[in-house]
Amino acid sequence: MEVKRDILWRVYLCFIGMVVFAFLVIGKALYIQQAEGAYWRSKSDSLHTRIINLDADRGTIYSEDGSMLSTSIPYFNIYIDFGAEGLRDKNGKRFREHLDSLSYSLAGLFQDKSADGYKKLLQAGYRKKDRYFLLKKNIDFEQYKQLREFPLVRLGRNKSGFIAEVKSRRLNPFGMLANRTIGLARENAQNVGLERTYDSLLKGETGKRLVRFIAGGVAVPVEGYEVEPENGKDLITTLNVNIQDIAQQALLKMMIENEAVNGTCIVMEVATGKIKAIANLGKRGEGEYWEDLNYAIRASEPGSTFKLATMLAVLEDGKANLGSQVNLENGVWQVNRRTVYDSERHKRTNVSLQQAFELSSNVGMAKMVMQHYSGNPEKFIGHLKRLRLHEVSGIDLVGETQPIIKTPKSKTWSATSLPWMSFGYEVLVSPLQTLMLYNAVANNGKMMRPYLVQEVQQDGRTIWNREPEVMVESICKETTLKQLKTSLEGVVLNGTAKSLSTPYYSIAGKTGTALVANGSRGYADHIYQSSFAGYFPADNPRYSCIVVIKNKPFAAKYYGGTVAGPVFREIADKLFALEAQQLPVQTVSLPKPDSSKFRYAGANEKMKTVMQTLSLPYKDSAAQTDWAVLEADENYRSVVKALDAKNSGQMPDLKGMGLRDALFLLEERKLKVQVKGKGKVISQSLAPGSMIQPKQTITIELN
């Protein structure tokens, strides 16, 4: 029995020992995992090396005058390797000596914690020997430059443990200005605009680097094993910042006023096809507009601006001339059991073809086409194809939608397709394609391919340059072209765009008002698309322009001449004023002006200089004020009057001003201001005289 008890006791002691040992092993494992895990993982990670890709700096997109439209800016994530040997010298003497001053500096720079808060944060990371301690994310370059001079950090990475992870973010300095056209370079979504079209040039060539990984995945470069990336190339666009701002502000003003759904505006240089401005605005939220889609290259039913193509076909084939008579049937005509209505009710019957065009008569166009092409619709459609209306423009933007020009072979062709096509229905073309036709008329029949990028540069050297490209040498005979120009000028002088006429320069163009469908609801909501396409000055065209605005349901104002036309006129007025020295000057007898319209604002001395240079008499009532307006009084005299500096409706001319004076005027107008450089203002992102909104952002550059 005694022996048996002794054996049992020994077994019991052995079991107890094993249990204690097991707990010791588990405890040690937990201690290593929790307390020393980061340290031992770093030892393991340090044995791992890998070749990683080095992203190149993405190229910059510039306007024609060198303004940055899209560029990459660096930002930094700051980590600390608390296992670095430099921080573990003599029980952390270096870390302790710099802790207070470093904490104080960090608190002063970032201002999100007190110095004591940063001190506790750094001590916690040090105690854990954290080799991947995230101190700060997304700091900018200015903050990073200051951080590098802080205590401990300035000793270098080996002694301080500080590691900077460099990233880049795409920035559009001008905000919404041509945002959709310039595009967005995004990490987790598809690029758009020029960023997408020219991505292969902008992104450059990826480099290679051999790295050793420390804890948490932080990669430490291995010196001597690196292939540098080749930075992306820069694009010089045809866009003009001033023209773009003028177009966008004019479009935005009308869209806000009419609570429109979306709209686009394109300005093209007649002789070359260069796109000088392209604005696209869509409504989102409560009255807010943004460049959400590129409406300029999306096909839709154009409405009456398409009648220019109909006129070209009829005149080119010799079926009629501008004096040919057509019965408008009081604006209502039935064809193949379907009724054609003129959009503006009238009681006209026999008129000339030119008058029918000036009145924008659907009946007139439909009757001409049915009379001359009903037996051979392919002949009419052949003209549309020669005008390239059946194919995309080929502009250097991804996402252009395919136009649709029906033929008798189309599944949806019907007995009324031909007459409805004559006034811009049952066809789909983009605003840009319509503008190409009007630009060709302005350019003496020569159709140019529109384009946005004119030059590619690398390190400041031009490596590719684009020349203007002729798509169609002549869209029609010279006699036809002359009649088309007369018709377009007549619309502004006598027709649906008469309100756009100005005594200072001539305009040629055509209004358009199209009823558009609203999904499954069809045409029940009375949604109209207003448009105006044309060029100016009509006698020596420099720019062509199209404005297309989709209105809200049951809008009170929806005709092309009252919605899109005023936008065109505002753009034309401001461009004519900007380039007055380059454009032919007309000598005119001015009628008595309406003082509410004849009013121009600007710097006082500049206003007087203009009047004196032109030898025009004026009365100076502005005294010593810096700002003035030029207007006409009841006796036909020009008067320079003082302008209230707090006038918030228009953008003042800031050029030559010091920063303090410029900020005073801008802050009075409740604008957000971005400043570049020092000295006096040499350029501004919002054009002088443009209409402005509170909280709008303006960038001013000083030399």
Mean pLDDT in residue range 393-401: 92
What's the whole-number mean pLDDT along residues 175-180?
79
- Which of 120-124, 186-190, 443-447, 676-680 is the most confident on average? 443-447
Encode pLDDT of 577-602 as tens digits.
887 644 444 433 334 444 333 334 44
**pLDDT bucket at 127, cuts 50 / 70 / 90:** confident
Query: 598-615, pLDDT tens digit by residue?
Result: 334 445 565 566 666 555
Of 340 and 643, the structure prediction assigns the larger pLDDT to: 340
The three-state secondary structure class of 221 is strand
Structure tokens at 346: 């009238």
644 vs 295, higher pLDDT: 295
**Residue range 213-239, pLDDT digits in tens:** 655 556 666 666 677 778 899 999 999
pLDDT at 128: 85
Half-sphere exposure of 12 (CA within 13 A, CB side): 6
Q: What is the pLDDT of residues 557-581, one digit of tens each?
A: 999 999 999 999 999 999 998 876 4
**CA 237 to chain CA centroid, nearest Å:** 13
Mean pLDDT of 42-65: 74
Q: Give which of 688, 173, 653 is closest to 662, Cα–Cα.
A: 653
- 635 pLDDT above the threshold of 80: no
Residue 644 has a pLDDT of 46
State percent of the chain over pLDDT 70.
80
The Cα–Cα gap between 548 and 544 comes to: 14
Is a pLDDT exceeding 60 seen at residue 88? yes
Residue-wise pLDDT tens digits, 468-502: 999 999 999 999 999 999 999 999 999 999 999 99
Instruction: Please count the other Cβ atoms lying within 10 Å of the Cβ belonging to residue 602.
Output: 20
**What values do phi and psi take at 206, rounded to 5?**
-70, 140
CA distance 37 to 43: 10
* Per-residue pLDDT reduced to its tens digit, 416-451: 999 999 999 999 999 999 999 999 999 999 999 999
- CA 432 – CA 642 distance, rounded (Å): 43
β-sheet bridge partners, residue 453: 237
pLDDT over 70 (residue 2)? no
Please determine, for residue 540, whether its predicted confidence score (pLDDT) is greater than 70: yes
Angle ∠(534,539,544) on CA atoms, nearest 5: 25
Which helix (H) or strand (E) segment holds residue 701: the answer is strand 697-702
What is the predicted pLDDT for the residue at 641?
46
Q: Which residues contact 686 (CB under 8 A, 6 or more apart)?
A: 245, 249, 651, 692, 696, 698
pLDDT for the residue 612: 62
Among 345-349, 623-627, 671-675, which range has the highest average pLDDT? 345-349
Min mean pLDDT across 125-134, 300-309, 526-535, 682-691 is at 682-691
Could you tell me the pLDDT band of residue 517, with boundaries at 50, 70 and 90? confident
Two structure tokens written together for 149: 């001079």
Structure tokens that stand for 695 in this block: 């909280």
CA distance to 331, 559, 657, per residue, from 360 (Å): 11, 11, 49
pLDDT of residue 167: 81
Mean pLDDT of the 286-308 span = 91
Out of 354-368, 529-543, 654-668, pick the least confident. Answer: 654-668
Mean pLDDT of the chain: 83
The angle formed by the CA atoms of residues 284, 289 and 295, to the nearest 5 degrees, is 90
Query: What does the alpha-carbon distance between residue 526 and residue 523 come to, in Å, rounded to a whole number?
Result: 6
Of 445, 442, 493, whose CA–CA distance to 471 is shortest? 445
Q: Assess contact for 674 and 631: CB atoms under 8 A.
A: no
Give all strands (DSSP E) within 563-671, no chain letters. 599-603, 618-621, 627-632, 638-642
* Confidence category of residue 511, pLDDT binned at 50, 70, 90: very high
- The average pLDDT across 73-84 equals 87
329 has a pLDDT exceeding 80: yes
Give the pLDDT band of residue 465 (cuts 50, 70, 90): very high
As beta bridge partners, residue 508 has: 535
Give whole-number Cα distances, 589 to 50, 541, 586, in Å: 80, 22, 10
What's the pLDDT tens digit per position in 235-264? 999 999 999 999 999 999 999 999 999 999
